């Protein structure tokens, strides 16, 4: 009597894999494997590479949210400065951020047109998320999305000769507070209704004089002009004073009543010369009254008479600037008008204001007398001021302006490599890269053209093994760093590429992707194309080629698997998932209750690895959770390839089968045995479960003897389970006993 066990993993010489697992092929002595799974869904080969287990289900993420019915096109996560985790979900037209600490979803961006392909986000500069594929490149924050890079000013500032210098008073406009001012016998407040915006309100608390004062450094012998506006408050028309004290010598420069306030804003102006040796003065805004109530002051300025630092012909540039953790500067504005001065000061007006909400400063650049090179002159530390007084000597200018801070090219795919951001545009045959150390500034010449082969344009890119790989449909390229800032491009010898740019993923020490030929596996030195099971080949062959670009690949790190979600048949969204276990290695096919359009590995609140998924109807799930697909029964089956059980077309008899499996009580596994390529089973057996003992698998294994009496030249086995389970279902293997010997020696199993 012949005893035959199903063989384990087979590997051809030369490193080409035959994938399927111990239930996927039988191997007569001296022959290649005959086949594997010919149909089936929703089973995966276990870590042992031999047994099959029914896949787990999927459950909704912690907070259920339907993203207005839009298909999910990308998922990412990041942590903010407080170490709070945020989940990003990208749909066809919108970007959402989930705060796990709140918890709450926030829509941070929207556009009118739908994405034409999935997006894979990247992290740059301490994990800051970056997205391309929308109408602009974006960086994501917990409650907002911002354009990557800063557009330059579109208008120039205006330069004119000035007789007075910059305002030396701190916060003379009282726009939001009274910082910089001290109070004597009064309280100070910034209130609405000023001569321009808010104004200062002095409220008496005691004494005959109520004072707001500020000390300012001056130069002995220099002439100064003190100006400001005054208006009556609640105590009516009263005497006021703009006092000036020589603080250095504790004497007065000006200490007389300047007039009486009224119901209108009245401008006051007074000029004086700083006494010899005086380096510090104190200006005083005084309400001269013992009456309770208020008086108002606004737009206080102290200017020095223009000096003699500038001599020659000058013009200016302005840039927008963002300070902080992620500094960024724009390219320059148009050049201002030229102005010639002799021993003078230049007043700039109409300084551009940025519409970028992240711009918090402007930078002023000026040439030296008659020069063509521009140098940093000063920063304006806000995005509101439109004037500036320049009196800086040419010899103080040392830092040249840069014209290499362009906004990164709006692209379709992005990667971080060699401390730069790399971007491709799907309609072009070139790759763009930002300046070293920044994701937001790009020199116009930062681009590498690739060999054009129309219509084979770039599809995607991926960093792997110290190099950057670029993919076309039928070709692929490698970029390597040469020296500090140079790069070498090599076309890979294998004529392959990808028709699904979002399928490219890196798993441990290999890079995996879908090509026109199947599944590609690259280990950094050699490209492997695994031999696929008949089931997987048919699945790939059924891809909807008009929508293949919506395919999505991701690594399921928890199980060592590559998930490839693809659209098949007439489906316009990915409706089947090919699962490649790159450790075993084996293939399986999953079909979920909903179309999986995006995948992403992250960690839950307990720091456990989880695989999240977005769907075509705008929902967000965690895979490998529970025993249903969010309440829908998981239908699962697999059928082994036809196995010859006799020679020379002589019939044999399969007498007995010993099936080994694990299944909990009150559950059932159906085994169908087919003979001679018939569609209907010759034998159908119900395999019941039993009460599980503990977590030790071997104690829970069930071995069922099945009397078969199946006649024929070929047999095939099918296992089916369409129940809602409460524990794992595992098919470990089976032994077959025949009437006649087939081969001269026994083939042992595991």
Structural domain includes residue 692: yes
* Predicted confidence (pLDDT) at residue 483 exceeds the cutoff of 80: yes
Residue at 192 is within a domain: yes
The residue among 281, 305, 329 that closes a domain is: 305
Q: How many domains does the chain fold into?
A: 3
Query: What is the SS3 string spanning 285-347?
Result: EEEECCCCCEEEEEEEEEEEECCCCEEEEECEEEEEEECCCCCEECCCCCCCCCEEEEEEEEE
Peptide bond into 585 cis (omega under 30): yes
Residue 572 belongs to some domain of the structure = no
Provide the residue range defining the domain that includes 384. Answer: 158-163+307-396
CATH code: domain of residue 248: 2.60.120.260
Q: Over 70: is that where the pLDDT of 19 sits? A: no
Do both 264 and 204 map to the same domain? yes
Whether 695 maps to a domain, the answer reads yes
Counting Cα atoms < 13 Å in the Cβ hemisphere of 686 gives 7
Quickly state the pLDDT bin for 46 (edges 50, 70, 90).
Answer: confident
pLDDT in tens, 156-177: 999 998 878 789 999 999 999 9
Task: Kindly state the average pLDDT of the residues 511-530.
Answer: 93
Do 286 and 311 reside in the same domain of the chain?
A: no
Mark which of 305, 339, 368 sits at the end of a domain.
305
| Same domain, yes or no: 656 and 692 | yes
Can you point out the beta strands (E) in 197-289? 199-204, 209-217, 223-232, 239-246, 251-254, 259-260, 266-273, 280-288
Are 332 and 318 a contacting pair, CB within 8 Å? yes
Same domain for 644 and 671: yes
Domain final residue, candidates 289, 305, 321: 305
pLDDT digits (tens, 9 = 90+) for 240-266: 999 999 999 999 999 999 999 999 999
Q: 571 - beta bridge partners?
A: none
Tell me: do 255 and 318 sit in the same domain. no
687-724 pLDDT tens trace: 999 988 876 667 788 999 999 999 998 899 999 999 99
| pLDDT band for position 611 (cuts 50, 70, 90) | very high
Same domain as 696, residue 664: yes
Average pLDDT over residues 387-399: 92
- pLDDT above 60 (res 10): no
* Residue 133 located in a structural domain: no
> How far apart are the C-alpha atoms of 469 and 462, rounded to whole Å?
5
- 169 lies in the same domain as 295: yes
257 secondary structure, DSSP code:
-
326 shares a domain with 280: no
Average confidence score pLDDT of the chain:
88
Same domain, 169 and 290: yes
Whichever domain contains 726, its CATH number is: 2.60.120
Backbone angles phi, psi at 246, to 5 degrees: -80, 95
Residue 300 sits in the same domain as residue 322: no
Strand partners, 488: 480
Closest CA to 452 of 479, 420, 424, 475: 475
Domain membership of residue 595 (yes or no) is no
Give the C-alpha separation, 290 to 236, whole Å: 12
**170 and 293: one domain?**
yes
In a domain, 95, yes or no: no
Q: Residue 734 — φ and ψ, nearest 5°?
A: -160, 155
Say if 93 falls within a structural domain: no
Q: What residues contact 463, with CB distance under 8 A and at least 6 apart?
A: 415, 416, 417, 469, 506
| Residue 650, pLDDT score | 74
283 plus 340 within the same structural domain = no
């Amino acid at each position: 009597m012949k005893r035959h066990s199903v063989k384990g993993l087979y590997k051809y010489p030369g490193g080409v894999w035959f994938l399927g697992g111990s239930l996927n092929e039988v191997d007569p002595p001296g022959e290649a494997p005959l086949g594997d799974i010919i149909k089936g869904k929703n089973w995966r080969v276990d870590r042992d590479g031999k047994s099959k287990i029914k896949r787990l289900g999927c459950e909704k993420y912690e907070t259920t949210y339907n993203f207005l019915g839009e298909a999910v096109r990308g998922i990412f996560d990041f942590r903010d400065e407080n170490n709070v985790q945020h989940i990003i979900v990208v749909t066809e037209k919108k970007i959402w951020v989930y705060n796990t600490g709140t918890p709450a979803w926030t829509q941070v961006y929207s556009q009118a047109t739908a994405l034409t392909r999935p997006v894979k986000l990247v992290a740059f500069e301490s994990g800051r998320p970056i997205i391309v594929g929308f109408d602009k490149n974006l960086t994501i924050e917990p409650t907002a999305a911002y354009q990557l890079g800063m557009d330059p000013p579109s208008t120039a500032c205006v330069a004119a000769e000035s007789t007075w210098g910059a305002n030396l008073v701190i916060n003379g406009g009282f726009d939001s507070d009274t910082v910089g001012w001290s109070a004597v016998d009064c309280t100070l407040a910034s209130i609405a209704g000023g001569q321009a915006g808010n104004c200062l309100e002095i409220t008496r608390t005691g004494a005959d004089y109520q004072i707001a004062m500020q000390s300012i450094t001056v130069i002995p012998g220099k002439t100064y002009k003190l100006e400001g506006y005054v208006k009556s408050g609640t105590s009516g028309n009263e005497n006021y004073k703009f006092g000036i004290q020589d603080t250095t010598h504790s004497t007065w420069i000006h200490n007389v009543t300047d007039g009486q306030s009224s119901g209108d804003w009245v401008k006051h102006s007074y000029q004086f010369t700083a006494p010899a040796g005086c380096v510090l003065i104190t200006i005083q805004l005084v309400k001269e009254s013992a009456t309770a109530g208020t008086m108002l002051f606004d737009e206080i300025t102290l200017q020095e008479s223009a000096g003699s630092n500038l001599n020659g012909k000058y013009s200016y540039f302005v840039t927008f600037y963002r300070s902080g953790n992620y500094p960024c500067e724009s390219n320059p504005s148009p050049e201002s008008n030229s102005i010639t001065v002799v021993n003078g000061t230049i007043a700039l007006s109409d300084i551009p204001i940025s519409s970028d909400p992240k711009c918090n400063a402007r930078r002023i650049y000026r040439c030296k007398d008659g020069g063509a090179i521009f140098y940093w002159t000063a920063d304006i530390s806000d995005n509101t001021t439109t004037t500036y007084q320049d009196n800086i000597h040419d010899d103080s200018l040392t830092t040249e302006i840069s014209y290499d801070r362009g906004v990164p090219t709006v692209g379709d795919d992005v990667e971080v490599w060699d401390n730069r951001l790399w971007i491709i545009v799907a309609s072009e045959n070139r790759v763009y890269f930002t300046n070293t150390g920044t994701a937001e500034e790009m020199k116009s010449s930062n681009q590498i053209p690739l060999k054009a082969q129309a219509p084979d344009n770039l599809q995607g890119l991926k960093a792997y093994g110290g190099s950057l790989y670029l993919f076309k449909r039928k070709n692929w390229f490698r970029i390597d760093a040469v020296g500090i800032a140079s790069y070498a491009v090599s076309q890979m010898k294998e004529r392959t590429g990808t028709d699904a740019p979002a399928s490219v993923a890196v798993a441990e020490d290999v890079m995996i992707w879908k090509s026109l030929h199947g599944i590609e596996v690259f280990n950094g030195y050699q490209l492997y194309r695994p031999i696929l099971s008949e089931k997987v080949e048919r699945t790939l062959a059924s891809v909807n080629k008009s929508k293949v670009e919506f395919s999505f690949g991701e690594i399921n790190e928890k199980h060592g698997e590559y998930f490839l979600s693809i659209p098949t048949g007439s489906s316009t969204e990915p409706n089947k998932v090919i699962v490649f276990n790159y450790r075993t290695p084996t293939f399986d096919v999953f079909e979920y209750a909903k179309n999986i359009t995006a995948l992403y590995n992250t960690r839950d609140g307990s720091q456990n690895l989880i695989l999240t998924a977005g769907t075509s109807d705008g929902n967000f799930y965690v895979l490998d959770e529970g025993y249903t697909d969010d309440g829908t029964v998981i239908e699962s089956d697999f059928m082994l390839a036809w196995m010859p059980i006799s020679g020379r077309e002589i019939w044999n008899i399969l007498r007995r089968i010993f099936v080994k499996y694990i299944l909990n009580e009150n559950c059932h596994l159906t085994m169908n045995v087919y003979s001679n390529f018939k569609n209907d089973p010759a034998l159908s057996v119900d395999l019941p479960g039993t009460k599980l003992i503990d977590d030790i698998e071997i104690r829970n294994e069930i071995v069922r003897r099945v009397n078969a009496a199946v006649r024929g030249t070929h047999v095939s086995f099918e296992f089916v389970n369409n129940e809602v389970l409460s524990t794992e279902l595992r098919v470990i293997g089976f032994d077959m006993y025949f009437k006649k010997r087939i081969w001269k020696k026994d083939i042992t199993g595991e």
